[in-house]
Amino acid sequence: MNELALKYGCNPNQKPSRIFMKDGGDLPIEVLNGRPGYINFIDAFNSWQLVKELKEATGKPAAASFKHVSPAGAALGLPLSDVEKKALFVEGMELSPLACAYARARGADRLCSYGDWVALSDTCDAETANLIKLEVSDGVIAPAYTPEALEILKTKRKGGYTVIQMDESYEPDPLEQRLIYGICFEQGRNNYRIDASQLENIVTEAKEFPASAKDDLVLALITLKYTQSNSVCYAKDGQTVGVGAGQQSRIHCTRLAGNKADTYYLRQHPKVLELPFIEGIGRPARDNAIDVYISEEHDDVLRDGAWQEVFTVRPDVLTMEEKKAWIATQSGVALGSDAFFPFGDNVERARKSGVAYIAEPGGSIRDDHVIDTCNRYGIVMAFTGMRLFHH
């Protein structure tokens, strides 16, 4: 099949719409269920590249949760602790390594992952399909599906859930083109391979990256390769914990990603883990209640009788002092940046969220100031020498 007609483009008024191969060859995908749209395919192809490269770089199964051309979360298939299982809403579930990867990717930023596009590096198994079935999601792309997994996914969205199978052997043309305002742009495809070798130019006084930190930094950098720039990514234990995408200022990226990392960590606070939810309440309602509970607007969910909509009893307030004390215990976080840090203020903000390891291109006229700031806090930083802008 060389061409696939779509309902419309980014918006309903943008017609006609299609995807097709300019060289006359076959599309490298097969739609197994549902009717994917224009934005679905943009997210599918970006997220597929991300998980494919993560698998190649680490040898581990990978998953991504994509929204509006940027990842809300990406992760490797590492085992989950009991606390992580509870925080990610997967207690008591059978979890394959691939299912662990998706649980981590989806759980990195659950509010932003609402209605996500799923990408899987490996054959989708029943355990992963059962987890996807529980979430509000638009569709999934993977190299293959077990018969049981496909049947599970076909039950979502009243049978209309989009399932795409990707040809693993497909290699795109080294030149890529796109039209903007009727003008054709052409560039070499970004084939830059990211792995631990990019972390060898360590420029700080502290010189050691633990093996886990190397995996986290590779994860962060590959995630940034497919994140709308400017972008900064925090990662820990094989998953992103905060992605700051599409900001005009680098410090705003660092703050946004850091705030998301803080929120992710606060979801593991004992008070949050023991919130007395009403039995049977849906995952999105829980996500919203948790987000409000740990935010500065927590009074909104606890005032008057509003709490009765989600909780069996009125929970204790998580005070600002308790939140600050909890966040201060976070450590060992890795951070990647798609371009150089122009000032040390990015490092100052990052270390407040437990960042101990950084990878960025280097090349700022203030590199010495950024390095000095890292040295002040014992942070290990490598200059990769490669910018990762994605537009």
The two tokens of residue 378 are 């014992």
Whole-number pLDDT of residue 63: 98
- Note if 269 is an active site residue: no
- Say whether pLDDT at 296 is over 80: no
Q: Give φ, ψ of 33 to 5 degrees.
A: -165, 150
CA distances from 27 to 11, 21, 50, 51, 170 (A): 23, 6, 19, 20, 9
Q: Domains in the chain, ordered, with CATH?
A: 3-166 (3.40.140.20), 175-266+327-383 (3.40.140.20), 270-317 (no CATH)
Whole-number pLDDT of residue 229: 93
3-state secondary structure of 322: helix
Which listed residue (68, 154, 352, 369) is catalytic? 68
Residue 298's pLDDT band (cuts 50, 70, 90): low
Q: Please tell me the pTM assigned to this model.
A: 0.94
Whole-number pLDDT of residue 297: 62
The tens digit of pLDDT for each residue in 301-353 reads 566 666 788 889 888 889 899 999 999 999 999 999 999 999 999 999 999 99
Residue range 127-135: mean pLDDT, rounded = 97
Mean of per-residue pLDDT scores for the chain: 94
Which listed residue (52, 55, 60, 67) is catalytic? 67
- Note if 230 is an active site residue: yes
State the burial class of residue 362 (Cβ atoms within 10 Å of its Cβ: 0-12, 13-18, 19+): buried
- Say whether pLDDT at 299 is over 80: no
Whole-number pLDDT of residue 230: 92
- Note if 68 is an active site residue: yes
Between 315 and 239, the higher pLDDT residue: 239
3-state secondary structure of 207: coil
CA distances from 381 to 292, 326, 341 (A): 35, 25, 12
Whole-number pLDDT of residue 302: 66
Whole-number pLDDT of residue 300: 61
Whole-number pLDDT of residue 305: 66
Give the span between the Cα atoms of 259 and 250, in whole angstroms: 14
Residue 40's pLDDT band (cuts 50, 70, 90): very high
Which listed residue (33, 40, 46, 230) is catalytic? 230
Answer yes or no: are the C-beta atoms of 62 and 179 closer than 8 Å: no
CB count within 10 Å of CB 274 equals 11
- Say whether pLDDT at 143 is over 70: yes
Percent of residues, the chain, with pLDDT higher than 90:
87
The tens digit of pLDDT for each residue in 156-200 reads 999 999 999 999 999 999 999 999 999 999 999 999 999 999 999
